[in-house]
Structure 1
Amino acid sequence: MAQLIGASIVMTFTSILIGWIIKKRSDMSIFASRLIGLTVMMFVAPAIYFLTSDTPYFQAFFTYGLGALIAGTIFYFSRSKRQPS
């Protein structure tokens, strides 16, 4: 359970950072840039965790996959809603 909470926190904050960098470099929305950051981290984070510990890659990928799912849910519910004019 602690690994899942840690993976969610790591995925959320690093995706926000990558999304912020993408947002500064392009004309994308903040939500889309965060999702791109989340996608990048979905493949980078398990590989780093696998290389630095004795955990099997599938277990690291599953843990960070659930963390990415939780982070995506956080991004979805925290996005700004535009009012129709």
Structure 2
Amino acid sequence: MAELFGATVAMAFTSMLIGWIVRKLSSTGVFASRLVGLAIMLFIAPPIYIFASGGPYFQAFFAYSLGALLAGAIFYCLRQKEKDA
């Protein structure tokens, strides 16, 4: 449970950082840039975890994919609602 919580926090904050960089370089919105950050981190975070701990790749990928799913749900709930014009 603690590993899942740590993966969620790590995915949320690093994808927000990557999303901020993507948003500065392109014309995407906040929610879309954070999802791009999640997609990037989904394939970067497990190898970093493996090199640090020596665990199996599948376990790291599974934990970080659940973390990305939860972080995406958090981003979805916190997004600003578009107003009807």
TM range (shorter): over 0.9
Give 2:59's aligned residue: 59
Shift of 1:54: 2.1
Report Cα offsets for 1:30-78 as digits up to 9, x if no partner.
1110000000000000010011112100000000010000000001111
Alpha-carbon distance, 1:22 to partner: 0.5
- Which residue in 2 is equivalent to 1:82? 82
Matched with 2:33 is 33
Letter in 1 for 2:67: G
The AA in structure 2 aligned to 1:79 is R
Percent sequence identity is 58
- Specify the code of the residue in structure 2 equivalent to 1:14: T
Question: 2:46 matched to which residue of 1?
Answer: 46
Counterpart in the other structure of 1:14: 14
Q: Distance in 2 between matches of 1:46 and 1:3?
A: 12
TM-align CA RMSD: 0.6
Instruction: Tell me the distance in 1 between the aligned counterparts of 2:55 and 2:3.
Output: 12
Give the counterpart letter for 1:11 in structure 2: M
Using the size of structure 1 for normalisation, the TM-score is 0.97
Q: CA deviation at 1:82?
A: 1.0
Q: Could you state the TM-score of these two structures normalised by the residue count of structure 2? A: 0.97
- Structure 1 unaligned blocks of 5 or more: none
